[in-house]
Amino acid sequence: MQPPDLERELDHVHTAAFGWALACCAGDRSRAEDVLQSSYLKILDGRARFDGRSSFRTWLFGIVRRTAAEERRRARLRRWLPLTWFGVLQARDGRPDPASALTRSETTRRLERALAALPPRQHEVLHLVFYQDLTIAEAGAVLGVSLGTARTHYERGKAALREMLKEVDRE
């Protein structure tokens, strides 16, 4: 796929990819933007190649997820660098931006808190199925797990989220 075609494909899925990047970065908007930039860069400079074995969206989401994991590892390493101790580099704490949190409705913030409290895999499967409208099989492909494993995370995540939302609604 040539760069103009890639950019056209990215344009189709960009908003969804931003939502997925936010989910992979625990709602931290600036980190999600960094992850998205790095992911697009990997695609455009040919370090990540689309081979057509899955849909473009599934493939892109897999890249975003791996890039977010790399970013988390780098952030952990950065915490130990002397530059961070002297305040030259600001280590992020992974929480959502305060500015972003202000613009969100209370219901959304509660939902985000409930999702964040789920184990990561369950959170990811629920996001991919309910937010991104992927099938459980596609969600499994993004996460690199089998359909059975994805289904287990989906069922457990759904039950746990339902309980949490009941508690949130009672408050």
Partner 1 sequence: MSQADDRDVRDRLATLRQEDAREAPSLAAVLAAARRTGRVGPRPLRWVPAIAAVAVAVVFVVVSVLAPNGQRQALVSLATARWQSPTDFLLRVPGAEYLETMPSFTTDWRNP
Residues that bind partner 1 (CB under 8 A): 7, 10-11, 14-15, 18-19, 22, 29, 33, 36-38, 40-41, 44-47, 100, 103-105, 107-108, 111-112, 126-127, 130-131, 158-159, 161-162, 165
Q: Tokens 């972003």: give the residue.
A: 100
Q: Which is nearer to partner 1, 94 or 155 (CB)?
A: 155
Instruction: Output the smallest distance, CB 171 to partner 1, in A.
Output: 15
Report yes or no: 124 and 143 within 8 Å, Cβ to Cβ. Answer: yes
* Residue 18 one-letter amino acid: F
Single out the residue of 120, 111, 108 nearest to residue 162, CA to CA. Answer: 111
- Give the other-Cβ count within 10 Å of 52's Cβ: 9
Q: Which is nearer to partner 1, 20 or 141 (CB)?
A: 20
Single out the residue of 47, 60, 48 nearest to residue 8, CA to CA. Answer: 60
H-type helices in 25-55, by residue range? 29-44
Cα separation, 55 vs 152, whole angstroms: 23
Instruction: Output the smallest distance, CB 32 to partner 1, in A.
Output: 9
The two structure tokens encoding residue 23? 């989910």
Instruction: Output the smallest distance, CB 85 to partner 1, in A.
Output: 22
**DSSP assigned state of 90:** P
Q: Which is nearer to partner 1, 112 or 145 (CB)?
A: 112
Instruction: Output the smallest distance, CB 5 to partner 1, in A.
Output: 14
Instruction: Output the smallest distance, CB 152 to partner 1, in A.
Output: 14
